[in-house]
Structure 1
Amino acid sequence: MDTLQLTNESTTIIENNGSNEESTLVLQRVNCPSNDNVINEIILPSKINGMIPNEVVSKPLFIPKPFIEANTSEIGLHTLKNECVIPVFSKDNERTIAHQEFIDIALESALKVFPHHSFDAPEIRVSHQIKGRTPDAIQKNVKDLLDHERTQYFERMAFIIRIPSIVETINGNEIALCLGGVRSYNLENLYNKKTIEKFKFFIGFQVKVCCNLAVSSDGFVEEMRVSSYQELESKILEVLQNFNAEKQLAQMKQLSEYSLTEHQFATLLGRTRLYQHLPKKDKVDVPFLSFNDGQLNSIAKDYYEDTSFSRNENGDINLWNVYNLFTQANKSSYIDTFLDRNVNAFNFSNSLLKTLNGSSNYHWFLS
């Protein structure tokens, strides 16, 4: 029987397997503000080797804001497992790797790499619902369908899993280590025989105050091509094990040390709008920026109005805040593009820093 002991310094799980010996797993306690309205489930590994978790406790953590908005809706892992059918490759009826399997594989892999840490329950967002019906309901009107006669799956899914026991503070903002992924069935040819399946996966950080994701190119795989459950697990483990958290943290902390004046920010925003309409021959020489006009409008608005990342009283804004204005605007992206844009925001912000230090690569945006 497992028991949970709580102290001011740590959380310890003591597992008693019937012998006189006890194995313990110590997890770092995170000091969180008291807020009865903010409750997250924390998954605690029940074994030191960190396989499937079987302990869940409630604990205040992040203000519940979606990490992506756009046309998505929240869904539970239980719903994915019990109320959604699994798409197949139509020519041979071979099944795809289901959304819930992707999430389970990511969680199992994370538990192997971070065996002494706690995990939030996965936060899952879906879009593009594909509806169907069972054969016995083929003649029924839609309004007459019973629940068990309806089928569904979601073409696109994104999820994140926070590791709240690994935290850091940048410019007064607490961030936690975070991993997640995206699956889009529209990128697969389901009308053919089973072939390579494609996933997006990342490990990075999430800002507590706004739930913006901070993802660098070092922790992101844009197209993870796999043919089996085992291959997907192997590639996820490789990404997790090779991720250099200290490097990304150092880059983000450096952003807070450099600022743009109001004039420079206005120039930047104006140039980003012009960038959308540059002739192809001119755009070749300018670094890529993937944000659209609607998102740039949000950045301009939040420069004045955002409660956490707006300008200071002099009109200046540091690059950490600029970066978060971009990642905040990125929440309006569709599931299959938001991770790519998030990485673009990170690279763009760091290149602005280099420009302020004399590099000419991004000079066009500030000239």
Structure 2
Amino acid sequence: MDSITFEKTPNIIDSNTTMMELHPVQDKPTLSNNIEYVKPFKSKPFIEANTEEVDLLHLKKDCIIPVFSKDNEKTLAHQEFIEIAQNSIAKAFPHHSIELPEIRVSHQIKGRIPDAIHKQAKDLLEHEKTIYYERMAFIIRVPSISESINGNQLSLTIGGVRAYNQENLYNRRTFEKFKFFIGFQNMVCCNLCVSSDGFVEDLRVSSYQELQAKVLEIIQSYQAETHLNQMKDLSQQFLTEHQFATLVGRARLYQHLPKKLKSEIPELMFTDGHFNTIAKDYYQDESFCKDESGNINLWNVYNLFTQANKSSYIDTFLERNLNAFEFNQGIGKAISGNSDYHWFLS
């Protein structure tokens, strides 16, 4: 793998409702002209659920920007968040090619312009409709920075989530919330590999410049080698068929435990629906299923988790991805009997 170094740079620092006003984007730095942007690798989407793929131009040209209703201040738009990530990646990796962002959105919010106030919905013309998306997730790959684990190629990947449903748009503008990560993507299945070192769940900022400074700081602080070594360790640890069956059964019981007992066991954020997929793929997944003896290494189990997580909604997707990594690390320790996760194998 190429040595990963981070270049240190100074911080840079419808009209039926007032929440659906169109605002011009504020002045901001432009993307570097010295970076080569390439088309993204096309395969499976990194998240499925109820999402659809859009491009950056669609967000810029076809979507309005929500505002905080009590002071009519605009939110930081989805496209601004993505552009901030592009700027920051260009600064951190000035000598690498960078893919164009892969963007997934959900929960479309519809509106209309004032001139169409009396029209029925079926009679609206395209220019009379307004939309924005309540939830957005994106990733940007740096394909020239890669590694192989258990025969799977991984590429360095940066991305984030913005969910307006986690903002109080009916109030005045204060700090806005974002989720941001840097990690790796398994190119065999396009599953994301997220660690606590590279993920910030609650990134609160009050301006474009502050968001850019914090995003750049996260990228520069990420310990890629440590994360890769932790994932390689998973490939060296195995569950027997009996242990895997016990884990799945215990995981189903976990959601129904008494509150006191549940508080004494490490958190598991995956649901019965996820474990239905995990159990099925244990037998059927072409890349990560059990071997002929029924054994399965924890790298494959981890990927069964992240594969199942693609059915999660955007606003819980990254947290579950991190939980999958921490859970499988804990199971690895429990195999030797030294872990709070031992309950899942007992």
State the TM-score, normalizing by the size of structure 2: 0.89
**Aligned match of 1:118:** 97
Q: Secondary structure at the match of 1:85?
A: coil
Q: Secondary structure at the match of 1:218?
A: helix
**Aligned match of 1:226:** 205
**Aligned match of 2:303:** 324
Q: 2:273 aligns with which of 294, 300, 317?
A: 294
Q: 2:176 aligns with which of 173, 186, 197?
A: 197
Alpha carbons of 1:360 and 1:350: their partners in 2 closer, same or farther (altered >3 Å)? closer
Alpha carbons of 1:320 and 1:104: their partners in 2 closer, same or farther (altered >3 Å)? same
| 1:187-210 CA-partner distances (Å, limit 9, x unpaired) | 111111111100000000000010
Alignment of 1:1-367 (within 5 A): 51-52=32-33, 55-57=36-38, 62-367=41-346
Shift of 1:252: 0.3
Q: Please, what is the CA RMSD of the aligned residues? A: 1.2
**Aligned match of 2:7:** none
Select between 221-230 and 62-71 the one with higher mean Cα deviation: 62-71
Q: How far, CA to CA, are the matches of 2:58 and 2:32 in structure 1?
A: 23
Contact 2:38 2:99 in 1 (8 A): no
The amino acid that maps onto 1:147 is: E
Alpha carbons of 1:144 and 1:54: their partners in 2 closer, same or farther (altered >3 Å)? farther
Q: How far, CA to CA, are the matches of 2:132 and 2:125 in structure 1?
A: 17
Shift of 1:144: 1.6
Q: How far, CA to CA, are the matches of 1:297 and 1:154 in structure 2?
A: 30
Alpha carbons of 1:134 and 1:307: their partners in 2 closer, same or farther (altered >3 Å)? same
Q: How far, CA to CA, are the matches of 1:353 and 1:313 in structure 2?
A: 21
Q: Secondary structure at the match of 2:179?
A: strand
The amino acid that maps onto 1:219 is: G
Contact 1:182 1:336 in 2 (8 A): yes
The amino acid that maps onto 1:275 is: Y
| 1:16-60 CA-partner distances (Å, limit 9, x unpaired) | xxxxxxxxxxxxxxxxxxxxxxxxxxxxxxxxxx825675455xx
Larger radius of gyration: 1
Regions of 4+ moved over 2 Å: 50-58
The amino acid that maps onto 2:32 is: M
Contact 2:35 2:97 in 1 (8 A): no
Contact 2:99 2:141 in 1 (8 A): yes
**Aligned match of 2:19:** none
Q: How far, CA to CA, are the matches of 1:76 and 1:295 in structure 2?
A: 29
Q: Secondary structure at the match of 2:171?
A: coil
Q: Secondary structure at the match of 1:338?
A: helix
**Aligned match of 1:47:** none
Alpha carbons of 1:52 and 1:230: their partners in 2 closer, same or farther (altered >3 Å)? farther
State the TM-score, normalizing by the size of structure 1: 0.84
Q: Would you say how many aligned residue pairs link Structure 1 and Structure 2?
A: 316
Q: How far, CA to CA, are the matches of 1:269 and 1:222 in structure 2?
A: 27
Q: Secondary structure at the match of 2:340?
A: coil
Contact 2:239 2:296 in 1 (8 A): yes
Contact 1:113 1:240 in 2 (8 A): yes
The amino acid that maps onto 2:141 is: R
